[in-house]
């Protein structure tokens, strides 16, 4: 990955490649089957890439940070592309470790990347890698490494993604090419995560707190740094009076947007809402909550989203557990796909995953009361019925104690260059101060 000329910030060769990837993701056959890839495709349009680059730096010259090692989560297949694409756009060499538990969507993305690579400048193949490898020390009796999930069990049939090996020419090999993994050796295999961590200039970790702690066991070079995105939780806030006054079409659109926020990644994305806070009088909030739940059930049914029996059982265990602990005053199920849990108090909002389609509800008298409820773990607040001034006032009152994003309902999964309060393009570059001599 070090041979040949390097890349610069906003390199046209990388831009052309990313635009080609975006076009591939927006093909009707792909976007219809995997709607979440359409959002990724739009993110890779020329105008969006230009916006991500941001303005010139004045007296500073922006240069790539160097080698960036990305460790994306397994439960949201698209995250690795957003992270890698912004880093590549900033001119970095990149290695993305794709989880062995990555699913079908990740495979589709890899297919599009391979297609775009055929028409790309060779510098792209020399500087960008997506790899998947087995964790060392887990070998079968015959000496072949076992592909295992992060939980330690062998993957079931159909799970995971194939390893991407590298050819001598520098491009990722397609299925069926190549020999053994570059990490294999005659004895005990070295730990690729340790080696990549030691070699990189920036390590980007997406995942739960446990994943972050595990990866951080591997030391970085003294000059390198970590950029970590650990466990987060998210919620929605709705002004009850605004919901009750909305036209049926508006209510349907809000419910549909909320369903998209929650169900696309089985409510496991860090930005997917788990709790809905209703702002208003007790009567308004109760009426709005019931009407919203009915609209949401219709939206879920219209989309054809379902929850299997095993998940339905898990949801009931979690929901009734909240009731047994005195956290919930009532629990209601609408089939297997939707569960409504009314909390005894807003400050008892759960921050853990309760199962796909399980939503806690609580009432607030004013939007400002959220300041006493929000925790540092809270990431995205989707909203309906509030103006920008009110939201900005709340952000000021929170003072960085939690909530890094306030976006309308339906936009929770939209990616932006600023994520979790971090300006990613700025993190992916260094600034060289250039001062001219006095005239």
Quick check: 24 pLDDT over 70?
yes
Residue with the bigger pLDDT between 16 and 266: it is: 16
Q: Which of 110, 127, 116 is nearest to 175 (CA)?
A: 110
CB 59 within 8 A of CB 433: yes
CA distance readout (Å), 26 to 19, 37, 155, 350 = 11, 7, 30, 37
Least confident of 18-27, 103-112, 156-165: 156-165
Q: What CA–CA distance (Å, rounded) separates 225 from 407?
A: 30
Q: What CA–CA distance (Å, rounded) separates 151 from 142?
A: 22
The arithmetic mean of pLDDT across residues 40-65, rounded, is 88
In terms of average pLDDT, the best of 59-63, 144-148, 188-192, 285-289 is: 285-289
In terms of average pLDDT, the best of 33-47, 160-174, 178-192, 278-292 is: 278-292
The predicted pLDDT at position 100 comes to: 77
The predicted pLDDT at position 57 comes to: 67
Write down how long the chain is. Answer: 439
Query: Which residue has tokens 């569960």?
Result: 339
Q: What one-character DSSP code corresponds to residue 96?
A: E
Q: What is the pTM of this model?
A: 0.78
Quick check: 182 pLDDT over 60?
no
The predicted pLDDT at position 439 comes to: 77
Q: What percent of the chain has pLDDT over 70?
A: 86
CA-only gyration radius of the chain, Å:
23
Sheet holding 225-229, edge to edge: 128-131, 93-97, 67-71, 202-206, 225-229
Query: Which two tokens mark 85?
Result: 């694409």
Half-sphere exposure of 300 (CA within 13 A, CB side): 26
Find how far residue 327's CA is from the centre of its chain: 29
CB 180 within 8 A of CB 163: no
Q: What is the mean pLDDT of the chain?
A: 84
The arithmetic mean of pLDDT across residues 204-220, rounded, is 92
Half-sphere exposure of 273 (CA within 13 A, CB side): 27
The arithmetic mean of pLDDT across residues 12-37, rounded, is 92
Quick check: 5 pLDDT over 80?
no
């Amino acid at each position: 990955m070090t041979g040949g000329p390097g890349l610069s910030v906003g390199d046209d060769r990388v831009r052309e490649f990313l635009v080609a990837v975006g076009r591939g993701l927006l093909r009707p056959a792909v976007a219809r089957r995997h709607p979440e890839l359409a959002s990724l495709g739009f993110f890779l349009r020329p105008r969006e890439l230009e916006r991500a680059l941001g303005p010139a730096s004045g007296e500073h010259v922006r240069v790539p940070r160097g080698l960036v090692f990305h460790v994306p989560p397994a439960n949201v297949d698209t995250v690795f592309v957003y992270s890698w694409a912004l880093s590549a756009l900033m001119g970095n060499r990149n290695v993305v470790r794709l989880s062995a538990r990555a699913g079908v969507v990740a495979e589709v993305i890899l297919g599009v990347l391979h297609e775009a690579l055929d028409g790309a400048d060779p510098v792209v193949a020399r500087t960008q890698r997506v790899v998947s490898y087995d964790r060392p020390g887990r070998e079968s009796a015959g000496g072949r490494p076992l592909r295992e999930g992060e939980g330690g069990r062998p993957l079931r049939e159909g799970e995971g993604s194939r390893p991407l090996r590298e050819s001598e020419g520098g491009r990722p090999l397609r299925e069926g090419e190549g020999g053994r993994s570059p990490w294999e050796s005659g004895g005990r295999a070295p730990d690729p995560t340790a080696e990549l961590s030691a070699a990189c200039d920036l390590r980007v970790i997406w995942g739960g707190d446990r994943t972050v702690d595990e990866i951080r066991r591997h030391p970085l070079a003294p000059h390198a740094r970590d950029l970590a995105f650990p466990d987060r939780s998210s919620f929605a806030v709705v002004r009850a009076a605004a919901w009750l006054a909305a036209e049926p079409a508006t209510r349907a659109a809000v419910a549909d947007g909320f369903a998209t926020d929650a169900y696309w990644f089985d409510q496991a994305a860090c930005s997917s809402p788990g709790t809905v806070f209703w702002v208003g009088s007790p009567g308004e909030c109760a009426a709005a909550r019931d009407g919203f739940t009915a609209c949401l059930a219709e939206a879920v049914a219209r989309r054809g989203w379902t929850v299997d029996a095993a998940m339905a059982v898990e949801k009931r265990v979690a929901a009734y557990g909240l009731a047994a602990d005195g956290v919930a005053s009532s629990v209601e199920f609408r089939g297997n796909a939707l569960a409504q849990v009314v909390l005894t108090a807003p400050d008892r909002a759960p921050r853990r995953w309760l199962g796909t389609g399980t939503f806690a509800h609580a009432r607030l008298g004013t939007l400002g009361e959220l300041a006493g409820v929000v925790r540092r773990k809270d990431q995205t607040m989707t909203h309906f019925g509030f103006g920008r001034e009110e939201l900005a006032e709340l952000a000021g009152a929170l003072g960085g104690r939690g909530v890094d994003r306030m976006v309308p309902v339906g936009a929770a999964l939209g990616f932006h260059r600023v994520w979790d309060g971090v300006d990613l393009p700025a993190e992916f570059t260094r600034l060289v101060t250039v001062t001219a001599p006095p005239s």
